């Protein structure tokens, strides 16, 4: 037996579910033909993240295959050819022309390396340095050969032309200039017929032994030159020239030579002719 409910009194009430617009899903087409807008999210709710179709994330730890990326090799800059040539020429700089070429090629190579991405700067610098050192060595050898060659002499020992030489190259009777200094290493030997400042009268050596000191050397030089040189000079030399001598001034020069060079000097300027009898 069922109880029947009495009909509701009052006007009919609207059905809320019947009057609400239909809920459209993402797959359902919009009545207007355009895509349906995304559903409204309540305030404070996190926004959904979507991944476009066809794009997926690789699984954890997975790496792209070797065929997915292409790496082009980067060419390594080469070495400048002129820098190599400069180094080679510098190593064989015993030939003067090779030393000069090393300096020139090294300078050109450095100029090129300012605007090129190449190796070789160190080679170019080394070639230049070696070339300069070789040239300096050749210059020193040339000067030493000229200075130590000694003057040209006749059969009797007379000098025939002007020559720069060391004091050790002086011989008795030589006329020369350049001795008017505290320490004399080199002089200019020239014929006695030319204007000159000094002339060697005679040369003698002090006894061998240890360095006796400058005072004793000077005393021995004055005594020896007075005894040995005075009889050899002319009367004009006594009146017009002044006697002097060149001697070792320290222990170092004493080890090289113990010779005393007795000379006569022009007191004013130069003189000509010989002072010997």
Delimit the domains of the chain by residue range. Answer: 81-147, 163-265
- Only one residue has tokens 């002339």, namely 199
Looking at residue 192, what is its pLDDT?
Answer: 93
Segment 46-101, tens digit of pLDDT: 556 555 555 555 555 555 555 555 666 555 578 898 999 999 999 988 888 999 99
Looking at residue 3, what is its pLDDT?
Answer: 53
Which residue ranges in the chain fall short of pLDDT 70? 1-76, 145-149, 181-182
Looking at residue 241, what is its pLDDT?
Answer: 93
């Amino acid at each position: 037996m069922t109880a029947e409910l009495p009909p509701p009194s009052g006007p009919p009430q609207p059905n809320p579910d019947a009057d609400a617009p239909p809920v459209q899903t993402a797959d359902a087409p919009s009545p207007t033909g355009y895509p349906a807008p995304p559903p409204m999210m309540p305030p404070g709710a996190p926004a959904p993240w979507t991944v476009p179709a066809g794009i997926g994330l690789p699984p954890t730890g997975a790496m792209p295959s070797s065929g997915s990326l292409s790496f082009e090799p980067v060419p390594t800059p080469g070495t400048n050819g002129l820098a190599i040539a400069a180094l080679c020429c510098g190593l064989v700089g015993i030939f003067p022309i090779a030393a000069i070429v090393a300096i020139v090629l090294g300078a050109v190579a450095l100029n090129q390396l300012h605007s090129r991405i190449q190796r070789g700067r160190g080679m170019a610098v080394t070639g230049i340095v070696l070339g300069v050192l070789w040239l300096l060595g050749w210059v020193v050898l040339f000067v030493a050969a000229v200075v130590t060659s000694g003057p040209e002499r006749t059969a009797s020992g007379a000098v025939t032309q002007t020559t720069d030489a060391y004091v050790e190259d002086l011989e008795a009777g030589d006329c020369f200039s350049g001795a008017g200094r505290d320490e004399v290493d080199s002089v200019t030997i020239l014929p006695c017929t030319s204007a000159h400042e000094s002339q060697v009268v005679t040369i003698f050596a002090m006894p061998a032994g240890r360095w006796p000191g400058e005072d004793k050397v000077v005393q021995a030089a004055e005594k020896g030159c007075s005894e040995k040189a005075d009889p050899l000079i002319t009367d004009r030399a006594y009146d017009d020239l002044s006697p002097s001598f060149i001697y070792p001034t320290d222990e170092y020069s004493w080890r090289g030579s113990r010779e005393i060079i007795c000379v006569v000097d022009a007191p004013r300027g130069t003189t000509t002719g010989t002072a010997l009898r």
